[in-house]
């Protein structure tokens, strides 16, 4: 008899908590039955990829750019990414510093797989992007979480991160702007943390997936802020900024020996991303600031619609995120937890939001609302949320 046995890596993934998406899965089941559900749970841009990028990709398909490509990435794209980095940074970036991956997730996976062994410690501030959990589970990393609490608007806390770095720490992974909180690290904080990590022989990985969706102030990359580059890695991609989530295009920027390791890893696991997609990505980076600006402004308008509305509902509160595609709502006055709120809101009003707990203990009393819905949809959702909260407080009184 054959009884299936799997690797420790697969078992680690399989045993991980699976109910992150429980409310959202239930919302999809209701929608499939024809119910009018409003989805405010995903971070997938609700814009189409800009037409000129589509045209460029079609043209490249038309000339046969459908073959294998170098593991490190197409030269044209590596150059476009390096040029973007060089424009803003005191450290010139060479195409040789860039490795292309199919999406930010894969870039993060490759970087952590090259830097850490199973059982080794990585420090990560929370609330953190949900996607880090399966990556760290699968690589069997020992994750030491650092709380960035709501009392401080989830602000990036360098001192707390520094305090968490011990003799066993191999790497620190940060995310700025942060999904889910929209908090941003300042250039000074990044510089200080990079220097501290370097002094202690620790890698510093920075996920900058929302670098182009910032509102009041511009994002500063870790690569721009840091004095020395040998212990740092920056990850970015086009999923959010260019509404290209389904194209699967991300990258890592690093130095010398790590770049070599990443190329080897990409060669073994991916063997090159599609040529026409990489060339369209290079086009997007070189020519497409107009569309990026339009989308960024739309997210900002939506934020400015949501935040005062939430704060006008007795019992709910939120702060105005500096960046990104999400608003974190404190529901502690009206529900036992974010999870209880999200479940009951779906039951009563058919609005799907994500509970905060899977992002980290600091977010347990929060729910995350996405800005990836148009203003009319957001207004409709907020009407329902208001009715839900008001009905709840009437029942309680």
Ligand X SMILES: Cc1ncc(COP(=O)(O)O)c(C=O)c1O
Residue nearest ligand X, CB atom distance:
104
Return the closest-CA partner of residue 127 out of 158, 149, 152, 98: 149
How far is the C-alpha of 100 from the C-alpha of 252, rounded, in Å?
A: 7
Say which residues have a Cβ less than 8 Å from residue 155's Cβ, sequence separation at least 6. Answer: 148, 183
Q: Shortest distance, CB of residue 235 to ligand X, whole angstroms?
A: 7
Residue 103 sits in the site that holds ligand X (CB under 6 A): yes
Single out the residue of 209, 258, 259, 367 in contact with ligand X (rule: CB under 6 A).
Answer: 209
Return the closest-CA partner of residue 181 out of 318, 45, 314: 318
Specify the stretch interacting with ligand X by CB under 6 A; choose among 103-111, 221-229, 269-277, 352-360. 103-111
Plot region of 350 (φ>0 → left; ψ -120 to 50 → alpha; else → beta): left
Residue 207 sits in the site that holds ligand X (CB under 6 A): yes
Q: Shortest distance, CB of residue 118 to ligand X, whole angstroms?
A: 22
Specify the stretch interacting with ligand X by CB under 6 A; choose among 97-105, 116-124, 211-219, 348-356. 97-105
How far is the C-alpha of 294 from the C-alpha of 288, rounded, in Å?
A: 10
Return the closest-CA partner of residue 198 out of 151, 230, 222: 230
**Cα distances (angstroms) measured from residue 181 to each of 136, 188, 382, 391:** 21, 20, 19, 28
Residue 175 sits in the site that holds ligand X (CB under 6 A): yes
Pattern 211-240, ligand X, x by CB under 6 A:
--------------------------x-x-
Torsion 242-38-321-294 (CA) sign: positive
Q: Shortest distance, CB of residue 323 to ligand X, whole angstroms?
A: 11
Nearer to ligand X, 138 or 245 (CB): 245
Nearer to ligand X, 50 or 180 (CB): 180
Single out the residue of 104, 125, 182, 321 in contact with ligand X (rule: CB under 6 A).
Answer: 104
Residue with tokens 């060479």: 94
Nearer to ligand X, 82 or 183 (CB): 183
Specify the stretch interacting with ligand X by CB under 6 A; choose among 99-107, 267-275, 359-367, 383-391. 99-107
The H-or-E segment that residue 255 falls in is none
How far is the C-alpha of 146 from the C-alpha of 360, rounded, in Å?
A: 9
Residue 359 sits in the site that holds ligand X (CB under 6 A): no
Residue 250 sits in the site that holds ligand X (CB under 6 A): yes
Return the closest-CA partner of residue 372 out of 63, 8, 36, 47: 47
Residue 176 sits in the site that holds ligand X (CB under 6 A): no
How far is the C-alpha of 139 from the C-alpha of 109, rounded, in Å?
A: 8
Single out the residue of 24, 105, 176, 211 in contact with ligand X (rule: CB under 6 A).
Answer: 105
Q: Shortest distance, CB of residue 244 to ligand X, whole angstroms?
A: 9
Using DSSP bridges, classify how beta strands 169-175 and 203-207 pair: parallel, antiparallel or unpaired: parallel
DSSP letter for each residue of 69-137: --TT--HHHHHHHHHHHHHH-SS---GGGEEEESSHHHHHHHHHHHH--TT-EEEEEES--TTHHHHHH
Nearer to ligand X, 207 or 288 (CB): 207
Residue 241 sits in the site that holds ligand X (CB under 6 A): no
Half-sphere exposure of 144 (CA within 13 A, CB side): 18
Pattern 127-146, ligand X, x by CB under 6 A:
--x-x---------------
Q: Shortest distance, CB of residue 30 to ligand X, whole angstroms?
A: 24
Residue 360 sits in the site that holds ligand X (CB under 6 A): no
Residue count, binding to ligand X (CB under 6 A): 14
Q: Shortest distance, CB of residue 43 to ligand X, whole angstroms?
A: 5
How far is the C-alpha of 32 from the C-alpha of 140, rounded, in Å?
A: 36
Q: Shortest distance, CB of residue 187 to ligand X, whole angstroms?
A: 19
Binding site for ligand X (CB under 6 A): 43, 103-105, 129, 131, 175, 179, 207, 209, 237, 239, 245, 250
């Amino acid at each position: 008899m054959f009884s299936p046995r799997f690797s420790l890596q697969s078992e680690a993934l399989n045993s991980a908590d699976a109910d992150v998406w429980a409310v959202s899965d239930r919302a999809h089941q209701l929608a499939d039955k024809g119910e009018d559900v409003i989805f405010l749970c995903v971070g997938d841009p609700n814009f189409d990829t800009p037409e000129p990028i589509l045209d460029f990709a079609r043209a490249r398909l038309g000339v046969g750019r459908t073959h294998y490509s170098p593991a490190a990435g197409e030269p044209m794209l590596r150059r476009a990414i390096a040029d973007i980095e060089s424009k803003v940074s005191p450290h010139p970036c060479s195409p040789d510093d860039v490795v292309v991956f199919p999406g930010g997730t894969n870039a993060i996976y490759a970087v952590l797989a090259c830097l850490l062994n199973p059982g080794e410690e990585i420090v990560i501030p929370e609330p953190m992007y949900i996607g880090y959990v399966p990556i760290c589970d699968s690589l069997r990393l020992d994750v030491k979480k650092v709380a960035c609490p709501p009392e401080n608007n989830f602000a990036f806390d360098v001192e707390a991160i520094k305090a968490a770095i011990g003799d066993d720490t191999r790497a620190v992974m940060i995310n700025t702007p942060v999904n889910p909180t929209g908090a941003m690290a300042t250039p000074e904080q990044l510089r200080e943390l990079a220097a501290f990590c370097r002094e202690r022989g620790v890698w510093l990985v920075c996920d900058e997936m929302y670098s182009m969706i910032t509102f009041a102030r511009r994002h500063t990359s870790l690569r721009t802020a840091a004095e020395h580059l040998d212990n740092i890695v920056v990850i970015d991609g086009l999923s959010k900024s260019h509404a290209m989530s389904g194209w699967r295009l991300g990258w890592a920027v690093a130095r010398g020996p790590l770049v070599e390791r990443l190329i080897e890893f990409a060669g073994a696991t991916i063997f090159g991303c599609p040529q026409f997609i990489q060339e369209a990505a290079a086009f997007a980076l070189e020519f497409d600031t107009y569309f990026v600006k339009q989308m960024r402004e739309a997210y900002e308008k939506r934020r400015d619609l949501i935040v005062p509305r939430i704060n006008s509902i007795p019992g709910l509160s939120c702060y105005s995120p500096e960046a990104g595609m999400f608003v974190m709502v404190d529901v502690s006055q009206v529900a036992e937890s974010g999870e209880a709120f999200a479940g009951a809101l779906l039951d009563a009003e058919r609005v799907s939001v994500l509970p905060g707990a899977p992002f980290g203990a600091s977010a347990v009393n929060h729910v995350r609302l996405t800005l990836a819905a148009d203003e009319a949809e957001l207004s409709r959702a907020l009407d329902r949320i208001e009715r839900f909260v008001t009905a709840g407080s009437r029942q309680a009184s």
